A and B are shown apart, each in its own frame.
Chain A
């Protein structure tokens, strides 16, 4: 599983971090998403899918 983020789309809502804190973080100033792990292990799959679905800006793409 590979995770791709689009910083330009991100609105800093932090929903991704609440869903999968091992994979996503945020910059403090503007809240833009920081990808901690672009290749998360499979057991985080459900969390990452959830993060992608919850992101209001659709800034997260999950490639399987």
Chain B
């Protein structure tokens, strides 16, 4: 293998580059990223960067010297627009064509947007560093903030903006925040925490319109006709895989790039990170994870499998791990936390906001969640089994 191209210059792409060099790949390595700045990390954006407690450049994933050591042709501010798997070329927006023997697709996600209110000033999404800095600049004026979507991103943004002393309302379609991610029982504890901190919750509600005045957002309309006055609106209603550039490639696409169990999409073409959808060998189900540790682990596997070739490729079978930081809560979870699981508190006390909870489904322990209990939580990692496929 002489030339490997990595599309997507973030956590997964960069880890793949690291892994390829560590595994002894000495050929040409090209990385394409549409953003202008060198690869940076996203988890701090909704937390420290938005809060202003971390300088933007501190999110950089590799210092210049480490990037140079990777001996890559790093093409920043360049977007891939087309892939021809048979000719083995990637085309960029400016017409440049890159030949490859090996390709790793790591283009991540793009935020979903609401079908209305797109042209109004003051309506934001948060995925990139630029977006985080733009939003922060607007928060400094002390606006009334409405966050739409109560998943991980929405709840974190609500916590961070509230910690800045702003008037914050969180709107979510589920009965509690994080209900879809962690179930309503833990979600209820998250709801309590937000309310105690002074966030107004509108749960079980969906947004039907955004109103504007003079080109700027002025209110959010809910399905029960409630009007929430707003100067700034953050839309955090999930994301879609960034596969637009692959539409005419002939590669199997669905909810992401559809890989096999080794992360291979087609011969010599692999995918990793938020964009990759693969059959998890332990559950048998197609899976796509939007977690930072997955970006790293999956990129390691994809890079090693690409070099090993089909005969030596190993299946990717991680136990998922994610975390979120809100106010003083550090919530971490291993495994699967299905919404209908039975919850068993095995350590600490939920009321004291320091506990470990196990998720039981199908007679097995499939997930473990720790709330301010990082060390204790880890002891349960080894007890986890994968859910049984339905």
Contact = CB atoms under 8 A, between A and B. Distances in A.
Contacts of B11: 56
Q: What DSSP secondary structure best describes chain B's contact surface?
A: helix
Given A13-B323, A13-B332, A31 B375 contact: yes
Interface in A37-64: 49, 53-54, 56-58
A34 to B, nearest CB: 9
Q: What DSSP secondary structure best describes chain A's contact surface?
A: loop
B43 interface: yes
A28 B375 contact: yes
A54 B296 contact: yes
Interface string A11-34: 111110110000001111111000
Given A53-B18, A56-B43, A58-B61, A13 B373 contact: no
A27 B375 CA distance: 6
Given A31-B330, A31-B332, A53-B19, A14 B374 contact: yes
**Which of A14, A27, A30, A53 has the largest count of B CB atoms less than 10 A from its CB?**
A14
Interface in B272-304: 292-293, 295-297, 300
B378 A54 contact: no
B376 A28 contact: yes
Contacts of A13: 292-293, 321, 323, 332
Given A18-B378, A30-B374, A54 B297 contact: yes
A9 B374 CA distance: 16
B174 to A, nearest CB: 26
Given A17-B378, A31-B374, A11 B300 contact: no
B15 interface: yes
Contacts of A11: 43, 323, 325
A18 B297 CA distance: 13
B332 A12 contact: yes
Nearest to A49: B22
Given A11-B43, A15-B321, A56 B374 contact: no
Interface in B298-326: 300, 321, 323, 325
Interface residues of B, number: 28
A18 B381 contact: yes
Given A25-B375, A28-B376, A56 B18 contact: no
Contacts of B373: 28
A25 B379 CA distance: 12
Interface in B3-44: 11, 15, 18-19, 22, 41, 43
Interface in B323-377: 323, 325, 330, 332, 372-377
B23 to A, nearest CB: 11
Nearest to B18: A53
Interface of B: 11, 15, 18-19, 22, 41, 43, 61-62, 292-293, 295-297, 300, 321, 323, 325, 330, 332, 372-378, 381
Interface of A: 11-15, 17-18, 25-31, 49, 53-54, 56-58
